[in-house]
Chains A and B, each alone.
Chain A
Amino acid sequence: DTEVTQTPKHLVMGMTNKKSLKCEQHMGHRAMYWYKQKAKKPPELMFVYSYEKLSINESVPSRFSPECPNSSLLNLHLHALQPEDSALYLCASSQAVGTRQETQYFGPGTRLLVL
């Protein structure tokens, strides 16, 4: 089973709203990732969690706040977003970071529109 699930599938929010994206995997993976993908561009890494600790933050604005409550769950809290934050947000997981077990499996994504 290589399934990563994400909710919601679609989200429309205003610039003053607070919302959260959720990601879950039950593959026993110890690394989880958030990516942002704009149309016709490759995924752009935002955050990496390894063993439930934040290991990489790619200079993401503080209006995006990640959280890893346990090894199976990853959240992305959104607050005061801008229209240019509209994108497909992808979650991925892998067995480990920075090893030959780094194959990442992606969830279906949340398509976010900020009005």
Chain B
Amino acid sequence: EDKVVQSPLSLVVHEGDTVTLNCSYEVTNFRSLLWYKQEKKAPTFLFMLTSSGIEKKSGRLSSILDKKELSSILNITATQTGDSAIYLCAVGGSQGNLIFGKGTKLSVKP
């Protein structure tokens, strides 16, 4: 059965800290891994990763995929209170759907 596991489930940091969120997966015929940020409403797309070892970067956020370890990390540097959200990892499933992890709830304190 396809599955996606995220860790930690929740994290509390102070502004300016750097955080690393983890996502591991077991899926048949891997195609892509996606990261989303969810605040109060719908998930917003952050990154799509398909190739191992190639870092995707957007401002203070970056992510990389390790196909050998079946995992990905999402890094956020110099965190701000606006980074507080649930970060969801998803992997393309064997039926063509997306399999979501349970998410990591990040709280950034001023």
Binding site for B on A (CB under 8 A): 2, 33, 41-43, 45, 48, 50, 55-56, 88, 90, 97-100, 102-109
Q: Which residues of B contact A97 (CB under 8 A)?
A: 96-97
Shortest 4 CB-CB distances between A and B: which pairs?
A98-B96, A42-B100, A106-B42, A97-B96
Given A2-B45, A42-B103, A109-B42, verify A104-B98 contact (CB < 8 Å): yes
Contact of B48 among A33, A41, A103 (CB under 8 A): A103
A93–B78 CA distance with the chains assembled, in angstroms: 32
List residues of chain B with CB within 8 A of the CB of A56: 95-97
Question: How big is chain B's contact interface, by range?
Answer: 20 to 34
> Which residues of the other chain, B, contact A48 by a CB distance below 8 angstroms?
96-97
Residues A102 and B43 in contact, CB atoms below 8 Å apart: no
What residue of chain B has the Cβ atom nearest to residue A111's Cβ? B41
- Inter-subunit contact B50/A100 (CB<8 Å): yes
Shortest beta-carbon distance, B3 to chain A, in Å? Answer: 12
